[in-house]
């Protein structure tokens, strides 16, 4: 569910008109709904309320500290993949005891920061990483609690670039090396083995690959315990998909996902750890843009908007589909026009959609790009010296800018001319 609905002939975010936000803040702009963030978190956690579980929101999906603080107030943990994300999570009020540190390339400085912060657990992805973590932990007089991220060679995810559980992917310990890795870790004085971690992909719309991964990892947990390892937690990662409005197969409901996970893991006597990101933030945000020109080409119509691929790269990077509609209701009777919706960047890849049926639109009209709360602002850039766009958080009838749009002068202040120029 998303709280972006028509009222008085135009789209509102909860109780706030998107037109008002555009007038006050300018476009393009990201707009997030507090009510949607809260509802998605509560629906997900409710699915596991009767078992030991930690929900650690995947910060990479949307890392704005206001979004994180909204979730922290509900008791949410965090899954981080960099030192910067760790600082964001702590700044937003997420306790270190609820923070999981994932990622295939953790640096020594990031490990040191996480150890000094006393985070809950490291998801270790290689033996060289394990050795570095052990060395740093010993130097600090600490023991690092770890789970190995194992790669079960199971294909899942809506696109090759977001499938992470195949043998060819860079993530995790190879399946046939997992038990040896645990034996090595158990012999290290700076390491405390506590769990097993698996993450097979993103935007998964079927329970089947989840079931395969749980079955495979469950058998591994039995073997590890038989070998003397004290496995207390099973981190199943994230990956549960959301509807993007493209009429594809509807992803499983969190309640159905929860029932499946509990049925398969209840006998394991482990704390479950989940890392949802997109499922919580995806449909909690929209990208609001203004039409610059409606252009008629030789064989198609173009709708040129002020948002671009640097603001929302998902269509260019993942061939992603996003539902779109005008902010102003078009009325009962109109003839749709087939548009290519494009941005102003000088690349053909700066295309949000091709041959999309929309009501007639013209310069100055506002367009909503839905399901942009995850992997939108977090992946944005200043390509073409286009400033990062503002982010706005709505709460009922109130809203506030939670990331400001920098000026061109602000961007240029970060650059320096060398002495010889």
| Helix (H/G/I), strand (E/B), else coil: 249 | coil
DSSP per position, 183-214:
HHHHT-TTEEEEEEE---BSSB--SHHHHHHH
Catalytic, out of 226, 346, 357, 417: 346
Two tokens, residue 57: 């929101």
**How many C-beta atoms lie closer than 10 Å to residue 5's C-beta?**
9
Is 76 catalytic? The answer is: no
Q: Please give the Cα distance from 305 to 70 (Å, whole number).
A: 31
| Helix (H/G/I), strand (E/B), else coil: 148 | strand
Q: Please give the Cα distance from 202 to 399 (Å, whole number).
A: 30
Rounded to the nearest 10 degrees, the angle between the axes of helix 254-265 and helix 34-46 is 30
Q: Which residue has the tokens 């990956």?
A: 239
Sign of CA dihedral 138, 140, 142, 147: negative
* Helices (H) then strands (E): counts for the chain: 12, 21
Residues annotated catalytic, as ranges = 346
């Amino acid at each position: 569910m998303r709280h972006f609905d028509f009222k008085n002939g135009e789209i509102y975010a909860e109780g706030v008109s998107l037109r008002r936000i555009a007038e006050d803040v300018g476009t393009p702009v990201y707009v997030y709904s507090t009510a949607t963030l809260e509802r998605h978190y509560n629906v997900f956690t409710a699915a596991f309320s009767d078992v030991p579980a930690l929900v650690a929101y995947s910060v990479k999906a949307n890392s704005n500290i206001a979004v994180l603080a909204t979730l922290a107030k509900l008791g949410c943990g965090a899954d981080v993949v960099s030192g910067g994300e760790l600082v964001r999570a702590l700044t937003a009020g997420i306790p270190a005891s609820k923070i999981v540190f994932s990622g295939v390339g953790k640096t020594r400085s990031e490990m040191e920061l996480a150890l000094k912060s006393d985070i809950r657990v490291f998801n270790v992805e290689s033996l060289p990483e394990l050795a570095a973590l052990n060395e740093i932990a010993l130097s600090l007089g600490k023991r690092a609690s770890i789970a190995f991220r194992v790669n079960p060679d199971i294909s899942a995810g809506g696109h090759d670039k977001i499938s992470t559980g195949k043998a060819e992917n860079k993530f995790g310990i190879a399946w046939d090396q997992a038990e040896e890795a645990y034996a090595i870790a158990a012999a290290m004085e700076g390491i405390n083995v506590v769990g097993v971690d698996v993450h097979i992909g993103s935007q998964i719309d079927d329970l089947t690959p989840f079931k395969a991964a749980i079955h495979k990892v469950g058998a591994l947990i039995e073997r590890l315990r038989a070998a003397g390892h004290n496995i207390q937690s099973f981190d199943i990662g994230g990956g549960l998909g959301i509807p993007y409005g493209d009429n594809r197969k509807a992803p499983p409901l969190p309640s159905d996902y929860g029932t499946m996970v509990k049925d398969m893991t209840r006998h394991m006597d482990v704390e479950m750890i989940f890392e949802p990101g997109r499922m919580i933030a995806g449909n909690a945000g929209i990208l609001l843009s203004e039409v610059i020109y409606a252009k008629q080409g030789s064989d198609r119509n173009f709708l040129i908007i002020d948002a671009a691929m640097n603001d929302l790269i998902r269509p260019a990077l993942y061939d992603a589909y996003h539902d779109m509609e005008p902010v102003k209701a078009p009325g009962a009777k109109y003839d749709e026009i087939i548009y290519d919706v494009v941005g102003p960047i000088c690349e053909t890849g700066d295309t949000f959609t091709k041959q999309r049926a929309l009501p007639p639109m013209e310069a100055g009209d506002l367009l909503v790009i839905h399901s942009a709360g995850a992997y939108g602002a977090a992946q944005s850039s200043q390509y073409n010296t286009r400033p990062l766009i503002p982010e706005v958080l709505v709460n009922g009838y109130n809203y506030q800018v939670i990331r400001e749009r920098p000026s061109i002068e602000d961007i240029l202040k970060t650059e320096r001319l060398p002495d010889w120029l």
